[in-house]
Chains A and B, each alone.
Chain A
Amino acid sequence: MPGVSSGGGGGGVGTAVSSPPRPFRPSRYVPVSAATTFLVGSTSLFFCFTCPWLSDSVSSVVPVYIAVIFIFTLANFCMATFMDPGIFPRAEEDEDKEDDFRAPLYKTVEIKAIQVRMKWCSTCRFYRPPRCSHCSVCDNCVEDFDHHCPWVNNCIGRRNYRYFFLFLLSLTTHIIDVFSFGLVYVLNHRQQLDTPHAAVTMAVMCVAGLFFVPVAGLTGFHIVLVARGRTTNEQVTGKFRGGVNPFNKGCSKNISHILCRAQAPRYTGRPYMHQKMEVQPPFLRPSLTEAQLEAKILDNGIQNDRHSTRSKSSLDQMESQSADAEAPPPPKPDLRYSGLPPADTEESSLLTEAPPTPSMFKYRPPYSSPGRNHSALSHSNKMIRGESLDSPCPSILKSSRQPSYRSEPSSLDGVTLVGGGVGVRRGGGERGEGSGGPGGAAGGVLGGVSGHSLTGRSYTSYPSSLVLSAAGSRSSSLRSAQTAHNPLATLQSEGTTDTSYKSLANQTPRNGSLSYDSLLTPSESPEFESAAHELSPQKPPGPFPSSAKAGQPKLVSPSSPLKGYTSPFLSAQIAQQREGQLLQGSATFSSPHRAYLRAVSPPPPTSPRPPEAQHLLQYGQDLSSRALRNTSSLSSSPGARSLEPPISPPPRGLSLSKSTAYTGETGSQYKLRPTGGGTMVVGGEVGGGHQAPQSTFRPVLANHTISKPAGGVKKVTGVGGTTYEISV
């Protein structure tokens, strides 16, 4: 019986060494004690009262056979009860410290061409591997989690599922044996039913008969599960109801996988042997070629504060590099993404396999091969950077705002620092703690798209900067976006309502660029918008000439209802004056988002729908989940409201809701590639342009609003020590 026990958090038998001690709850031991009593007691009575006659009358093999079966049952019962099911130890602090405020709730990996979502476990501080689940009773993440069984008072997971399954089989056999031989005895003692032996035998038969029905039912259920290669958890949550199970290897392989696989090792309670390694400088260094050095320098631009090296020429160089394997230098305003030097933190390296990440998506058609990730990542990074360069590039180049340009990465860093305290990303996300409040909510809403793709260093402070800079934004679009967000929140089964900080972080970079005030002239707005179009993945590098974009399909038409989006770069007055143009210009500013958004949904004419639908869905999932996760203690509607003032919801809010709904329908967490329906839904909802994926962005952008704090100047400190004042 899938024991979804609510008997409190008493320490289980398989408790990890690393988990904190829990109070002793005797109620947890009642079922296992009862099961043990019935099993041992009934069998003992049977041996005492029935077996002597059986050995005499039928055969002496009978008691031996029953004893063997009973011992086998007992051994499996003990193994299922006392064996560590595969508990993951809590992750160390170092593992996720870079992910704080930035990490999405979900990361997606591709297993045999099927998208599988990995959820962040706030208790254990890591992204749960596929098939892993957190047991609330034991308060541990268990590998290949099947269920928590109250009858053995233990989780059933990878390590002990075999013993549990064999226990069920042997117990069913044992019950059948006891009942049958008891019946034989009773049938042969019909005239002596008043003797104690017969009475006891009949009592044992009653117990056996009583337990036979549920035990046999459970055994049959697990036989089906083993044949299908599913866990109880997957079966009852309907993960594969409408989809394909990536873990299904075929019936015989599934069975051999369960029964014949090597005993998996335990992760907790291992004898830890400290590595006594002498690590003393001087350290050897690999010899670097010139190109490598150059690439390295450019890569580390943000951290090394080499903003001064970025100039028009470097921009051109970056563009030309877009086809190279080297990642372009950290770009400009929306550079947050680009800022992510291929710095592979735990998150980014994981994300390289995540299809939803727009950057990855663009250049890596199949996300299956990790070997390709490196170049793909650099490509995608390049693209992101190139894209981010696109929109501001024309005006930046025109205005020759090198200082501002230079400062952007710093602003990114600065934002990171400032925003560090705004909201705890997942810290309380799942539990609804979220200290981020409005800032966190805003960040969460927007962060979904861009945030989870790359190292989130620059994401962190987004919420704060957005809050500061978005004071005067129109909130109406936000509200509409928020309402779109609500279904997301409700659909989220995890029930997290935190907003994703990554979305906030995406917009953060803009904060530091005061130069954008002058950049956003009416004449330039269309360029920005056209530049924004340039951000779609298909556009080859070389996006600067805005005129070239004129001929391209406008993903966001000037007339699109981009209401209320105000670039944080603009001063309040300019924003007010140029509201209409800003809407379009904001499209470019939101390019980081859009870069990702577009990455996820490449121009329809040329790209196949299913992949983009798939990624859109996953992306939407990530966004929605992240947004929901980060909206700490807010329910869906309050969360939406809290999102209003500071930030607009993720550009994909609408698409997210639809994609989530679509996913919800299937009841499956796993998305297949050819889910064109999702795209259709998304596109249709937006009211369809010919380019459904892009069309989804219109309302998104329309809803993209940044509210600004009333007047004042916000100081953002960059990593390099640079301080920028954002006029609001």
Chain B
Amino acid sequence: MAETHSLQDFQRPAVSSKVFIQRDYSSGTICKFQTKFPSELESRLDKQQFEETIQTLNNLYAEAEKLGGSSYLEGCLACLTAYTVFLCMETHYEKVLKKIARYIKDQNEKIYAPRGLLLTDPIERGLRVVEITIFEDRNIGSAR
């Protein structure tokens, strides 16, 4: 079917399936995703790459949620200014989220898109799942 439409060559290939990496709650409610390599990606991606991606994401989220000096100071400042500081300043978590978004974009460009995969930022799913979209590999002719 794809061969009959030349436009298909210039459009994004069809989505074959989606894999959802669930949250790992073993350490509590901190944001952490499972590093278990899903079987659907076995033919598409190296296990090490995947685990590295997820581990980096986990580390970034841990940094965002860290109960450190910066988050404490931020809270104090907010109290003192009757929370008006939130109107002009970005919270620590939001800063790290931007960092995560950049990282995911970078990973997509470098690693996942060339393999017909696409990572979706988990914040769009409420930090519940990491969604990996698997695109149909038309060259092989079978949906994976």
One of A78, A89, A260, A377 near B125 (C-beta < 8 A): A89
When each residue 127-144 of chain B gets 1 if its CB lies under 8 Å from chain A and 0 otherwise, what string results? 111010001011100000
Nearest CB of A to B78, in Å: 8
- In A68-84, the 8 Å CB interface with B consists of 71-72, 74-75, 78-79
The answer to whether A374 touches B26 (Cβ under 8 A) is no
Q: Give the interface segment out of A336-344, A435-443, A581-589.
A: A336-344
Measured in the bound complex, the distance between the Cα atoms of B126 and A91 in whole Å is 9
Q: Is the CB of B34 within 8 A of A370?
A: yes
Which listed segment binds B: A261-269, A395-403, A696-704?
A261-269
In the bound complex, residues from chain A placing their C-beta under 8 Å from that of B72 are 260
The reply to whether B12 and A279 form a contact with Cβ atoms under 8 Å apart is yes
Q: Interface digits, B59-86 against A, CB 8 Å rule (1 contact, 0 not)? A: 0000011110001101100110011001
* Given A261-B65, A299-B39: A267 touches B123 (CB 8 Å cut-off): yes
Pick from A270, A272, A349: contact of B38, CB below 8 A. A349
User: Knowing A75-B83, A296-B42 touch, does A285 contact B29 (C-beta < 8 A)?
Assistant: no
Find out whether the CB atom of B29 lies under 8 angstroms from the CB atom of A344.
Answer: no
Residues from chain B with a CB closer than 8 A to the CB of A109 are 25-26
Q: Which of A414-434 contact B (CB under 8 A)?
A: none
Chain B residues near A79 (CB-CB < 8 A):
83
Residues of the A chain whose Cβ atoms lie less than 8 Å from the Cβ of B20? 95, 345-346, 349
Question: How far does the Cβ of A81 sit from chain B's closest Cβ, in whole Å?
Answer: 12
Shortest Cβ distance from A365 into chain B, in angstroms?
14
Interface membership of A373, Cβ < 8 A: yes
Instruction: Check B19 against A129 for contact (C-beta < 8 Å).
Output: no
Question: B80-98 vs A: 1/0 string, CB under 8 Å?
Answer: 0011001000011110010
CB distance from B24 to the nearest CB of A (A): 5
Given the complex of chains A and B, what is the CA–CA distance between A165 and B13 in angstroms? 50
Q: Which residue of B lies closest to A377 (CB)?
A: B36
Within 8 A of B (CB), among A22-36: none
A126 partner residues in chain B, CB cutoff 8 A:
128
Most buried by A among B24, B36, B118: B36
Is the CB of B103 closer than 8 A to any CB of chain A?
no
With a cutoff of 8 Å between Cβ atoms, the chain A residues found around residue B117 in the complex are 279
Q: Which residue of B lies closest to A373 (CB)?
A: B36
Are A110 and B26 in contact, with the CB atoms below 8 A?
yes
* Minimum Cβ distance to chain A for residue B95 (Å): 10
CB contacts under 8 Å to B, within A94-148, are 94-95, 109-112, 116, 126, 129-131, 143-144
Chain B residues within 8 Å of A273, by CB: 101
Query: By the criterion CB–CB under 8 Å, are A71 and B82 in contact?
Result: yes
Q: Is A368 positioned at the interface, with any CB of B under 8 Å from its CB?
A: yes
Interface residues of B in 5-35 (CB under 8 A from A): 12-13, 18-29, 34-35
A288 CA to B43 CA in the complex, in Å?
8
Complex contact A270–B129 (CB within 8 A): no
* Chain A residue at minimum C-beta to C-beta distance from B116: A283
Contacting pair B126 A89 (CB below 8 A):
yes
Which residue of chain B has the shortest Cβ distance to A366 in the bound complex?
B26
| Interface 1/0 per residue, A238-279 and B, CB below 8 Å | 000000001100000000110111111101001011010111
Min C-beta distance of B14 to chain A, whole Å: 11
Q: B52 in the interface, Cβ–Cβ < 8 Å?
A: no
Bound together, the chains give a CA A275 to CA B105 distance in angstroms of 8
Against A, the Cβ 8 Å flags (1 = close, 0 = not) of B31-55 are 0001111111011111000000000
Known pairs A277-B113, A283-B114, A286-B45; A264 contacts B93 (CB<8 A): yes
Q: Quick check: is A88 within 8 A (CB to CB) of the other chain?
A: yes
B113: chain A residues at CB < 8 Å are 277-279
CB–CB B22/A349 < 8 A: yes
**A192 part of interface (Cβ distance < 8 Å):** no
Contact flags (1/0) for A315-354 with B, using CB distance below 8 Å? 0000000000000000000000000011111100110110
Query: Lowest 5 A-B CB distances belong to which pairs?
Result: A283-B116, A346-B20, A75-B82, A262-B71, A344-B38
Task: List A residues at the B interface (Cβ < 8 Å).
Answer: 71-72, 74-75, 78-79, 88-89, 91-92, 94-95, 109-112, 116, 126, 129-131, 143-144, 162-163, 166, 246-247, 256-257, 259-265, 267, 270, 272-273, 275, 277-286, 288, 292, 296, 299, 341-346, 349-350, 352-353, 368-371, 373-374, 377
- Listed by A's residue number, 8 A-B pairs whose Cβ atoms lie within 8 Å are A111-B25, A263-B78, A277-B113, A279-B117, A285-B44, A345-B19, A373-B34, A374-B36
Chain B residues in contact with chain A, CB under 8 A? 12-13, 18-29, 34-40, 42-46, 64-67, 71-72, 74-75, 78-79, 82-83, 86, 91-94, 97, 101, 105, 108-109, 113-118, 120, 123-129, 131, 135, 137-139
